[in-house]
Amino acid sequence: MFRCDRLAIRRGTFQLGPLSASVEAGQVVVVIGPNASGKSTLLGMAAGVLPSSEGMVQINGQPLAKCDLASRAAMLAYLPQQPARDLELSVERLVSLGRLRLSSSPELIEEAIEEFELSEIRHRAVSTLSAGQAQRVHLARIWAQRDAESILVLDEPTAPLDPRWADRVWSLLARHAQNGGVVLVSVHDIAVAADVGDQAWLLANGSLVAAGPAGDVVQPDRLAAVFGAQFEWVVRRNGSAWLVNSGPSAEKADSVHSVDGSR
Instruction: Indicate the residue type of 76.
Output: L
Q: Which helix (H) or strand (E) holds 258?
A: helix 250-260
| CA separation for the pair 261, 255 (Å, rounded) | 10
Q: How far is CA 200 from CA 78, 194, 234, in A?
A: 19, 8, 20
The pLDDT score that the predictor gives to residue 1 is 84
For residue range 21-66, what is the model confidence (pLDDT) as tens digits? Answer: 999 999 999 999 999 999 999 999 999 999 899 999 999 889 999 9
Q: How confident is the model at residue 247 (pLDDT cuts 50, 70, 90)?
A: confident
- Look at residue 213 and give its three-state secondary structure: strand
| pLDDT tens per residue across span 120-179 | 999 999 999 999 999 999 999 999 999 999 999 999 999 999 999 999 999 999 999 999
Residue of 142, 156, 205 whose CA lies nearest to 15? 205
Asked whether 149 and 120 are in contact (CB, 8 A), the reply is: no
pLDDT top residue among 254 and 30: 30
- Supply the DSSP symbol for 104: -
In angstroms, the CA 122 to CA 167 distance is: 23
CATH 3.20.20.70 at 2-211, yes or no? no
Instruction: Return left, alpha or beta for 209; rule: phi > 0 is left, psi -120 to 50 is alpha, else beta.
Output: alpha
Task: Give the pTM.
Answer: 0.91
User: Where along the chain do its domains lie?
Assistant: 2-211, 219-263
How many whole angstroms separate alpha carbon 229 and alpha carbon 227? Answer: 5
What backbone torsions phi and psi does residue 219 show, to the nearest 5 degrees?
A: -120, 145
- Looking at residue 150, its amino acid is S
C-alpha–C-alpha distance, residues 7 and 28, integer Å: 20
